[in-house]
Structure formats: structure tokens, C-alpha cells
């Protein structure tokens, strides 16, 4: 019997990986423009790291984590907790007062698989640790917007403030009073959330809950003086950078650790409205995890959803491989020469391929086409005797002779590198 991949775990195949790389490369480029450094983290962490940071009563910790119960370790469901764990463990706050970090990699959650949502999924996560300046919030949102816009995606930014430990309890009390009045109409999940995580009722997807919360008290009207001016400064920063956004008083995000600014990058291109990324401020989290009293903010973007959107936009046909040269050697002697020649070319930086199995010219030309070869060098018996191969430019169909020696290879390699750069 054939062994198949686990449900919710997907292979990313050749061709698809080109698009993944394109997204990752652009992300790295943009993160560098904003002066972020990469951090790479282990996939396994102690379970308590996530229980303490994400929150015991969140859906993630309650039912979605891949945990080895006997060993008390968990495959990370998100990256922020691990970034902070490493930040504290290595005293990164001593090295730089403000750390700007990013990481890209797989995360794991045991959810029902659906389009754009897998159990192993991939995120780009960015975190700024050490500043509570509202400009950092604006800059982070600007960076996310820049990435999405340079990927050619049409996405809107939604934003909210969740207040702080000073002002949120007052809001929570008013919200609970409101929910108490309407409790019979809430969905079963929200009935439970009333006692565990009442803010989550605000972003419940159930149509009846959505209707009810329209009348709920607004967090934005409960912000304390400091949260109000911070929120105002964030919006001024966004205006200054020309970043469009809309306020969404129902956005609470799923995790316990958020405070003040929260935001999501939202699209309607995947059917219903959905977030391709989001994040927010978590000023108490570093201290909560045993570190210094240091504010932080970050966001994550889901690679799978970005890839889906890119595929919708570009279509699969654009994603073809490309090599510089395919060497078609006909017959044993030509094939033998081609074998050493492509090695010489590869040493000089040329992406080169050949048919190793001695097929005919027609079959080899097909292979060259599939490989996306920009040039094909044909070496038959006649060419071998004369010491010149026929070099064909596949785009223009122009042909010229190329000496089958080191000098010829060097000239070709140079012509390729000038075309590329
Ligand atoms: Zn406040
Ligand atoms: Zn609900």
C-alpha cells in the first residue's frame, strides 16, 4: 500500500516553490529595507511557553496544538512566543535597545483543513521589541502594506486599539453586562466565551452573533487617556506615510497577549472576507515570559494565503523553470564531450542541463523546451569533427557557431552573465 502525506500536510512541488521563493525573496528584501534582522528558531518548544503567552483559554492552546503530552513539548503554533523566548534567553535587549526581528518558517495547528488552511502552514513573522512609540506601529503596518502591494495584491488594512490593563477591564465589564442581556441569542461557542474570553464574541463569525455585537459597547470609546493619544499617534503616522486603513472596532485578534494597536490585512479575493496577515502590540508579554519590562509589537502573514492570491492573479502558466543552456549531444562521443562541458559551464555560473540517457535530437529539443532553456547547443557528429557546436537562441531562433573548447565555454558564460546582470 502507498503511504500518503498526512491530512492537512501538503507538499510544495517544483514549480510551486518558484512562487514561494519569489514571495520570500521579496519579503526579505523589504524587511531589510526596514532594517530587520533574521532570527531562526526551533520548531519544538516547551508547552508552557505557548500556554503562558498565547493563553490557556484560547482555541489554539485548548485544542489546536500538536503536543507530545508525556514530554510536555509542543510544535510551535506561531512564532512570537519563540522569538521572545530567544530574545530573553540570549539577552538580545542588552545588545540593542530596539530589536527588529523577522523569521520565516512552518507552524503547526490541528485545525480542520480547508482551502488556504493546512495543519502545517507557513508564516513570515516580524517583531519589534523595545519601543512603544506609535511610529513603530505605523511603520510595521506600512511595511506589511508595502510587501503586499509589491506582490501586486489588492488588500486593505483594518485597525483597532484593544486598550491596556488600565482601560480594558472597564470595557470588559460593560461588554459582559451587554452580553448578559443578550446571552440567549449567542452561539454555543460565544456562550462559553462569555466566561473565558468575552472579547472573542466581538469577532465571532456566526451571523447571529455578528448581528448582536453591532449594538455592543465600542472599545474605542473606553480607551484611557494614554491609549487614546497612542492610537491617535498611530493614525497620524499612517497618514503621514500615506497608508490607507479603516477602523474596525470588532477586531480583537485571537490571542490573549495583544494590547493597544491591533491590525489585519484583509482581502475579499479568496471568496469570503479573510485576513492574509495581522498582528498587534503585546507590551506586557516579554515581562510575562520572565524577561525585562519591554514593549513589543509584531505581525505574521500566512504564506499559503499569499500564494493562493498570487496564483489567482498570475496563473500557473507563468511559473516555469528557466535555464541558460541545454546541451544536446548526439551520439556517444558528443554526449561524452557535453558531459564534461556542462560541468565546466556550471563552474562558471551557467545554469546548464543535458540529456544523460542518449535520446534522439527531437526528444532532447523537447527536454530543452520543458527546462525553459534560453539557448540550446547542438553537437552532432559533423560539429564534433569541426570543433564547433550550433548555438541556437530559443527566443529568436538565431543560430551561430560556438567553439567546443574552454575558450568557447568562457565566452558563452560571459555573454550569459552580462545578459543576466
Ligand atoms: Zn489604556
Ligand atoms: Zn458566536
How far apart are the CA of 210 and the centre of ligand 2, in A? Answer: 7
How far apart are the CA of 276 and the centre of ligand 2, in A? Answer: 22
How far apart are the CA of 355 and the centre of ligand 2, in A? Answer: 60
How far apart are the CA of 391 and the centre of ligand 2, in A? Answer: 67
Q: How many alpha carbons fall within 13 Å on the CB side of residue 49? A: 24
Query: What is the full per-residue pLDDT of the chain (421 aa) written as tens digits?
Result: 899 999 999 999 988 898 999 999 999 999 999 999 999 999 999 999 999 988 887 788 888 999 999 999 999 999 999 999 999 999 999 999 999 999 999 999 998 877 667 999 999 999 999 999 999 999 999 999 999 999 999 999 999 999 999 998 999 999 999 999 998 999 998 998 888 888 889 988 889 999 999 999 999 899 999 999 999 999 999 999 999 999 999 888 766 678 999 999 999 887 777 889 999 999 999 999 999 999 999 999 999 999 999 888 877 655 566 899 999 999 999 999 999 999 999 999 999 999 999 899 999 999 999 999 999 999 999 999 999 999 999 999 999 999 999 999 999 999 887 655 4
How far apart are the CA of 169 and the centre of ligand 1, in A? Answer: 10
Q: Which residues lie closer than 8 Å to 296 by C-beta, 6 or more apart?
A: 84, 127, 128, 129, 130, 281, 282, 283, 285, 286
pLDDT number for residue 33:
98
CB atoms near residue 309 (< 10 Å): 22
Q: Is 72 left (phi over 0), alpha (psi -120 to 50) or beta?
A: left
CB atoms near residue 349 (< 10 Å): 13
Mapped onto helix, strand or coil, the DSSP state of residue 70 is coil
Distance CA 401, CA 392 (A): 9
Give a three-class secondary structure readout of 128-152: EECCCCHHHHHHHHHHHHHHHHHCC
Distance CA 209, CA 254 (A): 16
Sign of the dihedral defined by the CA atoms of residues 312, 317, 318, 319, in that order: positive
Q: Which ligand is nearest to the CA of 259?
A: 1
How far apart are the CA of 275 and the centre of ligand 2, in A? Answer: 19
How far apart are the CA of 178 and the centre of ligand 1, in A? Answer: 21
Q: Which ligand is nearest to the CA of 201?
A: 2
pLDDT number for residue 167:
93
Q: Which ligand is nearest to the CA of 226?
A: 1
Q: Which ligand is nearest to the CA of 187?
A: 2
Q: Which ligand is nearest to the CA of 203?
A: 2
Which residues partner with 159 through β-bridges?
247, 263
How far apart are the CA of 208 and the centre of ligand 2, in A? Answer: 7
pLDDT number for residue 421:
46
How far apart are the CA of 231 and the centre of ligand 2, in A? Answer: 28
Q: Which ligand is nearest to the CA of 167?
A: 1
CB 150 within 8 A of CB 44: no
Amino acid at each position: 500500500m502507498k503511504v500518503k502525506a498526512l491530512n492537512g500536510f501538503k507538499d510544495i512541488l517544483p514549480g510551486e516553490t518558484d512562487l514561494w521563493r519569489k514571495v520570500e525573496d521579496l519579503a526579505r528584501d523589504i524587511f531589510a529595507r526596514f532594517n530587520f534582522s533574521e532570527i531562526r528558531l526551533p520548531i519544538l518548544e516547551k508547552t508552557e511557553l505557548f500556554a503562558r503567552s498565547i493563553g490557556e483559554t484560547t482555541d489554539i492552546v485548548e485544542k489546536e496544538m500538536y503536543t507530545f503530552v508525556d514530554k510536555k513539548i509542543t510544535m510551535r503554533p506561531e512564532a512570537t512566543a519563540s522569538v521572545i523566548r530567544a530574545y530573553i534567553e540570549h539577552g538580545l535587549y542588552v545588545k540593542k535597545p530596539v530589536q527588529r526581528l523577522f523569521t520565516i518558517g512552518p507552524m503547526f495547528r490541528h485545525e480542520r483543513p480547508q482551502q488556504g488552511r493546512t495543519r502545517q502552514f507557513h508564516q513570515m513573522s516580524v517583531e519589534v521589541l523595545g519601543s512603544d512609540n506609535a511610529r513603530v506601529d505605523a511603520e510595521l503596518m506600512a511595511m506589511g502594506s508595502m510587501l503586499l502591494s509589491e506582490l501586486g495584491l489588492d488588500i486593505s488594512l483594518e485597525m483597532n486599539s484593544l486598550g491596556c490593563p488600565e482601560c480594558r477591564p472597564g470595557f470588559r465589564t460593560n461588554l459582559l453586562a451587554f452580553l448578559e442581556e443578550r446571552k440567549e441569542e449567542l452561539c454555543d461557542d460565544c456562550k462559553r466565551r462569555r466566561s473565558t474570553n468575552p472579547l472573542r464574541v466581538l469577532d465571532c463569525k456566526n451571523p447571529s452573533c455578528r448581528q448582536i455585537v453591532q449594538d455592543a459597547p465600542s472599545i474605542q470609546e473606553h480607551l484611557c487617556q494614554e491609549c487614546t493619544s497612542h492610537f491617535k499617534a498611530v493614525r497620524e503616522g499612517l497618514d503621514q506615510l500615506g497608508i490607507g486603513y479603516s477602523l474596525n472596532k470588532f477586531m480583537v485578534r485571537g490571542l490573549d497577549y495583544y494590547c493597544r494597536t491591533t491590525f489585519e490585512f484583509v482581502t475579499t479575493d479568496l471568496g469570503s472576507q479573510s485576513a492574509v496577515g495581522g498582528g498587534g502590540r503585546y507590551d506586557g508579554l516579554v515581562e510575562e515570559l520572565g524577561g525585562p519590562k519591554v514593549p513589543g509589537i509584531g505581525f505574521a502573514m500566512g504564506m499559503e494565503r499569499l500564494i493562493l492570491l498570487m496564483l489567482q492573479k498570475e496563473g500557473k502558466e507563468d511559473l516555469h523553470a528557466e535555464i541558460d543552456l541545454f546541451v544536446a549531444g548526439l551520439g556517444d562521443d558528443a554526449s561524452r564531450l557535453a558531459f564534461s562541458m556542462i560541468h565546466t559551464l556550471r563552474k562558471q555560473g551557467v545554469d546548464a542541463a543535458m540529456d544523460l540517457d542518449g535520446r534522439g535530437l527531437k526528444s532532447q529539443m523537447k527536454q530543452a523546451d520543458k527546462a525553459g532553456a534560453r539557448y540550446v547547443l547542438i553537437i552532432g557528429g559533423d560539429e564534433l569533427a569541426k570543433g564547433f557546436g550550433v548555438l541556437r537562441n530559443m527566443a529568436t531562433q538565431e543560430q551561430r557557431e560556438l567553439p567546443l573548447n574552454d575558450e568557447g565555454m568562457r565566452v558563452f558564460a560571459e555573454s550569459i552573465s552580462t545578459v543576466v546582470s
